[in-house]
Homo-oligomer: A and B are copies of this chain.
Amino acid sequence: MNSAALYRNITLGVADAPFVKATISRYGWRVGVGRFVAGQDAATAVPALLKIQASGRGIILDLLGEFVGTEAAARGTARAIEESVRVAHAAGVEPYLSVKPTQLGLGVSSELAWELAEHVVGVVGSLGGHVCLDMENVPYVDRTLDLYERLRRAGHHHVSTVLQSYLHRTPDDLARMLALASEFSSITGLRLVKGAYREAPTDAIQDVSRVADAYRDLAYQALAGGLKLNIGTHDEGLLRELIAYAKGAKLGPEHHEVQMLFGVRPQLQERLSGQGVPVRVYVPFGADWYGYFSRRLAERPANLAFVVRGLFG
């Protein structure tokens, strides 16, 4: 295990300890959760969202929360998501939503997820917005793509999804996306990410440099195939290559956009945006911020140092 992976595992281990969890949960907003999480709910997130919009970057609303194990919980989450979008929209925020299908019950049943996804997609559509079905770990990839395809075939073209370059299966999934896209006249959006779940070597490339190579190949295919590529990486070298490709191919904002996380490399986001690159910021908010926040700390020692300074400084 390299030192970065070791740091990550230790941080995630410590973050799971009850004392740490209790302390950070209590003092969270004082110790810098607000750097990565825009608010405890949509209403408190609105100032951060409007500030991003005012800077020329787009936003993606993400109500934190992952796997939901019961139908009742899924219905509750769907209502909370709908309400969040309405609150943000009423305050002047673009209704561009990201949702994890397991939040809508994909782990309970595909029919439940379909019912709730179609409802949420309908609400967002009525506000003139967009929904991105986020992608989760291996057991949900097929079901998420099926859900996505079913939404498109039902006429919901303001929906996009995500592929993960580290999965061995992704070239086939991209071929499926390209074939599907060719059936419709509206541009098909696709966010490409490297992938961040811990997957088995039988499912995923483990070597980070090979993951970047796979990303580049998939991205070129997606762009050459006429998709709108949503470049979901913080790897500056890689994203600058793709921006350069788009420039060479004279692809405008309707065919590519950089998507980065709230609070991660904010100066790079602003620099790119200032250079005319379309940038959209994935903005998480909600009460269920602990897991998301500890993953951000586990990514970079500098982020943890920031919290430690907040607690003791």
A220 at interface by CB-CB < 8 Å? yes
Q: For the complex, what is the distance from the CA of A240 to the CA of B219, rounded to whole Å?
A: 15
Main secondary structure, interface of A, reads: helix
Partner of A248 from B237, B240, B245 at Cβ < 8 Å = B245
Nearest Cβ on chain B to A172's Cβ, whole angstroms? 23
Q: Which of chain A's residues 242-267 have a Cβ closer than 8 Å to chain B?
A: 242-251
Min CB gap A99→B, angstroms: 32
| Tier of interface size on chain A | 10 to 19
In the assembled complex, the Cα of A266 lies from the Cα of B245 at a distance in Å of 25
Per-position 1/0 for A173-194, Cβ under 8 A of B: 0000000000000000000000
Q: How far is the CA of A242 from the CA of B247 in the complex (A)?
A: 10
Q: How far is the CB of A222 from chain B (nearest CB, A)?
A: 13
Contact among B223, B244, B249 for A241, CB-based, below 8 A: B244
In the complex, chain B residues whose CB is within 8 Å of the CB of A243: 241
Q: How far is the CA of A245 from the CA of B248 in the complex (A)?
A: 4
Contact of A245 among B223, B237, B245 (CB under 8 A): B245
CA distance A248 to B243 in the complex (A): 10
Distance from A140 Cβ to chain B, minimum over Cβ atoms (Å): 32
Residues 225-251 of A at the B interface (beta carbon under 8 Å):
236-237, 240-251
Interchain residue pairs A-B with the least CB separation, the first 5: A248-B248, A248-B249, A245-B248, A241-B244, A244-B245
